[in-house]
Structure 1
Amino acid sequence: MNKFAIHEGENVRFLRTVRQFNQKQLAEEMGGNWNQQKVAYWERQPKIKVGLLYQFAAAIQVPIYILQKPRQELAQSLLMPEKQLVDRNPNVKQMHRKINELYHRLLLSQIELYRLQYEEGFGR
């Protein structure tokens, strides 16, 4: 997939996982007649009706425009969110902290992997 293509369903899935919701939990947040299968269906859809997109945004607790970004911009906006958005929305601030924490852990694990490979290569 083109990194600049907009796939709203994948954005919903990505942000749901960042918020550490499973599909069933998101369905509960959506309320009404929502279930895991319905969430899974919409996460596969490249385009979601605006009214439904507003519901997803509210359930995931992000502004709707975040769900309408290309994947590359979505990742960038989560790594470096606009200051005013972070200051106003504690959920975005929490997501930003979690993403940074996970990225830091990933970098540390990569460093450790390279160190082990290096030592193994030189027979220490």
Structure 2
Amino acid sequence: MSLTRRLARSFSSGCNKISLMGAQVNKGQGKSGVLASPVVLRQCIKEAGIQVEDFGDFVQNVQENDEILKLDQGFARFYKTFLANTLGIANHVQQSLSKDSSRMGLLLGGDHSIGTGGFFTSL
């Protein structure tokens, strides 16, 4: 089953008031393609006929002199940019959802900072 059809089935019986937000961020991981995922997923949502209120994308804030931080167990890629994006995404989500509390938020993205940004919004 295509992604478009799965999206249509998922939203057909659920919440019909959706606030759509995107996060064009990719510095927190090494895979190509995640920067474009909000655009691709929006197209699938549109093709599925799902009605949303679109609040646009947060575009990543790349910090100067950023680096990979080596830790005792692993590393953090471009941690300054990741933190700036996490806070920016949290603000974007908070502003979007504050307009209508009855809507379900759907955040499309990007790298792992979409999860941490969304989490900080709930605190």
Which structure dedicates a bigger proportion of its chain to helix?
Answer: 1
| Structure with more strand by fraction | 2
TM (norm. structure 2) is: 0.24
Q: Which has the higher contact order (CA 8 A, sep 6+)?
A: 2
